[in-house]
Amino acid sequence: MISRLATIVLVIAITAGSAGADVIERVVATVNNEAIFLSDLRTRAVPFLPQVADAPTETERMSRLKELYDELLNFLIDEQLVRQLAASSGIRVTDADIDGAIENLRMQNNMTEEQFREALDAQGFTIRQYRKDLKRQLIRLKVVNERVRSRVNVTEEEVRARYEERARGEGNDIRFRVSYLVVPVGEGASAIQVAAKRQEAVQLRADLNPENFEARAQELGGGDLGWLTEGDLPEELERPILALDAGEISEPVRGSKGFNIFFLLERQVGTDFPSFDEMKQELFREMLDAAMIRQEKIFLDEIRRSAVINRML
């Protein structure tokens, strides 16, 4: 049986043969006149070559290798663009930054320095190679945080919507207990009369708080609607209610009888499902990560368009 090392050597030999047996080094791409070399590509490909070598035929191996090289070259081009942008923007990663990142990683995994080096050895890394790779990652992270993070905003309303979407997906009903009051608008009221009633409702809302809401509701017409399930109210009324946290009061909402103001007393999701507070941070991180990935892709597309890139693979 061919050993893994021998297999990797075999695939590299095949690759060299496909490019011409006498080729030792050549440029496979330029990014704003900076070169990416075949050796760079081959070095990055090494961890993935066993998957290439596992292909049942030489034709399939060559197909997998081409696909791998195309994907890795795109990655190296993006990496070069980010490095160039970091250099022009004065974004640097110091030895102290790298030391701190390694220390954090080691502590998170409860490893001594010796155990950490042994783990690197087991994966075929020298500490020098690892530090070089980590520096590239930290530069990319710094650039992304500086240029992309400001584009991302995940609101609590969006997090709650994701929470309730997940709850529904697991068969849980969204239930809420709500109180309301209404500023009536007469049937057939003119646009001027409707506008006046809207202003009246806005002024009323400015004076409301959780302590005086029930008294004002009894005074003006309204009160506790009891426990409702999603779908019990018309969508135009229910949507602003579901955006509230317990204890919050809505802005005036136009309904068939006039302008409604809602006070969300309580809300529940099923019986065994975790509360919103219990899941909020997890969902926020999940949504933030997804949004960062989307915005990073947009950002990379933007800097690619403004760069001069030549592929020669």
Q: Please report whether residue 231 resides in a domain.
A: yes
Residues 193 and 238 in one domain: yes
Give backbone dihedrals phi and psi of 56, rounded to 5 degrees, phi first.
-70, -25
Between 273 and 180, the higher pLDDT residue = 180
Residues 142 and 177 in one domain: no
Q: Please report whether residue 122 resides in a domain.
A: yes
Rounded distance between C-alpha atoms, residue 297 and residue 152, angstroms: 13
Q: Please report whether residue 158 resides in a domain.
A: no
**141 lies in which domain range?**
92-147
Residues 219 and 253 in one domain: yes
Residues 228 and 181 in one domain: yes
Residues 136 and 216 in one domain: no
Q: Please report whether residue 2 resides in a domain.
A: no
CATH number for 184: 3.10.50.40
Residues 64, 67, 70, 75, Cα dihedral to 10° = -90
Q: Please report whether residue 112 resides in a domain.
A: yes
CA distances, 29 to each of 16, 24, 32, 40, 49 (Å): 17, 16, 10, 11, 21
Rounded distance between C-alpha atoms, residue 172 and residue 164, angstroms: 9
Residues 177 and 123 in one domain: no
What's the confidence (pLDDT) of residue 62? 94
Residue range 124-175, pLDDT digits in tens: 778 888 899 899 999 999 998 899 988 999 998 899 889 888 888 787 778 8
Q: In the listed set 232, 248, 269, which residue is the last one of a domain according to the structure?
A: 269
Q: Please report whether residue 235 resides in a domain.
A: yes
Instruction: Count the domains in the chain.
Output: 2
Between 92 and 16, the higher pLDDT residue = 92
Residues 202 and 116 in one domain: no
Mean pLDDT for all residues in the chain: 86
pLDDT-based confidence at residue 73 (cuts at 50, 70, 90): very high
Residue range 259-298, pLDDT digits in tens: 999 999 988 786 678 888 888 999 999 999 999 999 999 9
Q: Please report whether residue 18 resides in a domain.
A: no
Q: Please report whether residue 206 resides in a domain.
A: yes
Q: Do the Cβ atoms of 10 and 53 come closer than 8 Å?
A: yes
Residue range 25-34, pLDDT digits in tens: 899 999 999 9
Residues 238 and 203 in one domain: yes
